[in-house]
Structure 1
Amino acid sequence: MTINNKTITKGFVLAGLMNSSVLVFSKFFTNPTIAEFDATVMSNFGLLMIFIWGLAYISISKNYNQVKWLVAVFAIEKFIYGFIWTNWHLNNSIADVFEKDLMAGLFYSIYGINDWLFFVFFTFVFVRLVRNK
């Protein structure tokens, strides 16, 4: 599979924008329901850090090829969040979240899908960077 550098740059920006959507789902950190269902990972501090990760993705979007090991860190980070999301769904009811708040329900429904997709993306970019050296 061949993806050009411009498309990869757009992928980093898209990853950052997707992380920034946490502002919408958390209603700018005023939605207590998200933290209620996973106080460890999805506290307001945790949501803020998700936003900060997104800024980090955007910040290297045009020079990702100079920081291959940071791209690997991004892949690991996305794997961890994807794993946590999968585990959460195996042990919790999404219906309970939707009963309390639509935005929180939507957030818990989709955030892991985003993380798994960008795990694949960051892994692909990292492997490409390693092979090109």
Structure 2
Amino acid sequence: MSNDFIRNGFIISGLVNILAVLFLSRAFTNAAIPETDPVVMSNFGLLMIAVWGLVFLAVASRYQYVKWVVGAFVVEKLVYAVVWFRWITTHNVAAVYAKDAFAGIFYSVYGLNDFLFFLFFAAVFYQLHRLEANQQKEALS
């Protein structure tokens, strides 16, 4: 993956986190999202998703220097994807759509988004790990 592709991936991830939360939660005024899952998707939880988005943006041009932060992103995205999968397989998303279409959209897609960015961040982490290993090998030669 090229540096530009990776940088843009971080930017897209950050913007998706921020803009999707602000839009679908109607700037934290959509009560249907926190009512549906008050533990994970409270207004505080939604705010923290937007904060993660800010962190993704902050790292976009310096990701090469923070391999373990990228590793934390892998874990963060995996946790949200697993939580979403457990939620989507044990709840009726149609009932959420009946309450509020924006909340229904949110619950339909957030885990898929997190899973895709889990894969992206994992690939970046792996690439950084390999690069570091090769540099260490060359330094020993």
Query: Among 16, 19, 43, which residue is 1:18 paired with?
Result: 16
* Residue aligning to 1:7: 5
Looking at structure 2, the residues matched to 118 and 128 of structure 1 have their Cα atoms a distance apart, in angstroms, of 15
1:1-133 aligned within 5 A: 3-20=1-18, 21-133=20-132
Looking at structure 2, the residues matched to 113 and 64 of structure 1 have their Cα atoms a distance apart, in angstroms, of 23
Q: TM-score, normalised by structure 1?
A: 0.98
Give 1:5 shift: 0.3
Question: Which ranges in structure 2 are unaligned for 5 or more consecutive residues?
Answer: 133-141
Q: TM-score, normalised by structure 2?
A: 0.92
Q: Indicate the RMSD between aligned Cα atoms, in angstroms.
A: 0.4
* Residue aligning to 2:136: none
Partner deviation per Cα, 1:42-88 (whole Å, 9 max, x = no partner) = 00000000000000000010010000000000010000000000000
State the identity as a percent.
47
Looking at structure 2, the residues matched to 40 and 59 of structure 1 have their Cα atoms a distance apart, in angstroms, of 27
Letter in 2 for 1:8: I
Looking at structure 2, the residues matched to 129 and 110 of structure 1 have their Cα atoms a distance apart, in angstroms, of 29
Give 1:90 shift: 1.1
Letter in 1 for 2:29: T
Tell me which stretches of 4 or more aligned residues in structure 1 moved more than 2 Å. Answer: none
Letter in 2 for 1:15: S
3-state DSSP class of the match of 1:15?
A: helix
Looking at structure 2, the residues matched to 118 and 84 of structure 1 have their Cα atoms a distance apart, in angstroms, of 15
Larger Rg: 2
Partner deviation per Cα, 1:73-128 (whole Å, 9 max, x = no partner) = 00100000000000001110000000000000000000001000000000000000
